[in-house]
Amino acid sequence: MTPPLPSTRLDGFHALVCGASAGIGRAAALALAGAGAELTVLARSGDKLAALLPELEAAGAPAARALIADLDDRPRLAQLVGALATERPVHVLVNNTGGPPPAPLLESDEAAFLTAFGRHVLASHLLVRTLLPGMRQAGYGRIVNVISLSVREPIAMLGVSNTIRGAMASWSKTLAMELPPGITVNNVLPGYTDTERLSTLGQAIADRNASSLEQVQDAWCASIPEGRMGTPAELGAVVAFLASPAAAYLRGTSIPVDGGRLRCI
């Protein structure tokens, strides 16, 4: 008798999605809801999270709640997430937050690096340490980091982001060697994805080159074999797969979701 295929469903699991108020974080939350997960969505914008909750329940989440928190205020973050984990263990953690403002590396000061390192690496580390006991007890854990294709190939005008995303990838690979069996960590590397963040980058490049946002976007699309930018929903679907039982043997990987733009193997 052929054994059943591993499930991509998340019924009975609780997922915490950071940066869920917009873009890829929002799409990831909706994809996880569609797989049957209970959702807690975290961001600074309470209004946007409140509007998202009924959408999550309509998508299939048996329950959804908002956690208003700022990744820059890590003592408060630890308090809020610690209380959440005490009330209901978190089985799936999606580390996701907006990147630093676009700027060349040589125009970036020390404060920009420190803020970004805290918001990405330190906040993610705090969340993992806070949630890991519940994952251990459940015998199931999925940590998915939404990083950037820049960990393989730096992106112009994203000097601080390129640096910090690389640190996140190294942190994740090290974590993969230390986590117990049944608890995995993997990275999603978005390529050019149609989000507000990418539009901000495109406009910054256009302003420097005395061109238009449309010209910048056309040049991006010309570099992508698929001939278009990705959608947040396409990224969210990959996050949901990595969170599922079907991805149990994926560990410490960085998966480009880029329409084929990356040239290396």
CATH of the domain at 245: 3.40.50.720
Provide the 10 A C-beta neighbour count for residue 149.
Answer: 21
DSSP 120-161: IIIHHHHHHHHHHHHHHHHT-EEEEEE--GGGTS--TTBHHH
With respect to residue 248, please indicate whether it lies within any of the assigned structural domains. Answer: yes
- pLDDT band of residue 190 (cuts 50, 70, 90) is very high
Same-domain status, 159 and 217: no
Per residue in 215-246, pLDDT (tens digit) is 999 999 999 999 999 999 999 999 999 999 99
C-alpha span between 43 and 261 (Å, rounded): 30
pTM of the model: 0.95
- pLDDT recorded at residue 173: 98
With respect to residue 210, please indicate whether it lies within any of the assigned structural domains. Answer: yes
257 bridge partner residues: 190
Same-domain status, 148 and 173: yes
Sheet bearing 64-68, strands edge to edge: 64-68, 38-43, 14-18, 92-95, 141-146, 183-190, 254-257
Same-domain status, 170 and 206: no
- Contact by Cβ (8 Å): 16, 81: yes
- pLDDT recorded at residue 209: 87
Per residue in 19-60, pLDDT (tens digit) is 999 999 999 999 999 999 999 999 999 999 999 999 999 999
C-alpha span between 68 and 78 (Å, rounded): 12
With respect to residue 250, please indicate whether it lies within any of the assigned structural domains. Answer: yes
Per residue in 84-123, pLDDT (tens digit) is 999 999 999 999 998 898 899 999 999 999 999 999 999 9
DSSP 222-262: HTSTTSS-B-HHHHHHHHHHHTSGGGTT--S-EEEESTT--
Same-domain status, 152 and 211: no
What is the biggest distance separating any 2 CA atoms in the chain, rounded to whole angstroms?
Answer: 65
- Which of 129, 93, 141 has the alpha carbon at shortest distance from 248? 141
Same-domain status, 129 and 91: yes
Same-domain status, 251 and 121: yes
Q: What is the percent of the chain where pLDDT is above 70?
A: 99
- pLDDT recorded at residue 56: 98
Same-domain status, 153 and 77: yes
With respect to residue 5, please indicate whether it lies within any of the assigned structural domains. Answer: no
The H or E element spanning position 221 is: helix 213-222
Half-sphere exposure of residue 140: CA atoms within 13 angstroms, side-chain side? 18
Number of domains the chain is built from: 2
Higher pLDDT, 123 or 205: 123
Same-domain status, 118 and 203: no
| pLDDT for residue 197 is more than 90 | no
Helix, strand, coil distribution of the chain in percent, nearest 5: 50, 15, 35
Same-domain status, 176 and 45: yes
With respect to residue 261, please indicate whether it lies within any of the assigned structural domains. Answer: no
With respect to residue 3, please indicate whether it lies within any of the assigned structural domains. Answer: no
Higher pLDDT, 204 or 106: 106
With respect to residue 6, please indicate whether it lies within any of the assigned structural domains. Answer: no
With respect to residue 185, please indicate whether it lies within any of the assigned structural domains. Answer: yes
| pLDDT for residue 3 is more than 80 | no
Per residue in 139-184, pLDDT (tens digit) is 999 999 999 999 999 988 899 999 999 999 999 999 999 999 999 9
- pLDDT recorded at residue 1: 65
DSSP 42-62: EES-HHHHHHHHHHHHHHT-S
Provide the domain limits for residue 45: 14-191+233-256
- Which of 36, 21, 16 has the alpha carbon at shortest distance from 130? 16
- pLDDT recorded at residue 196: 85
13-17, 205-209, 250-254: the lowest-pLDDT one: 205-209
Same-domain status, 159 and 214: no
Quote the distance between the C-alpha of residue 253 and its chain's center: 14
Same-domain status, 221 and 239: no
Average pLDDT, the chain: 95
Same-domain status, 47 and 174: yes
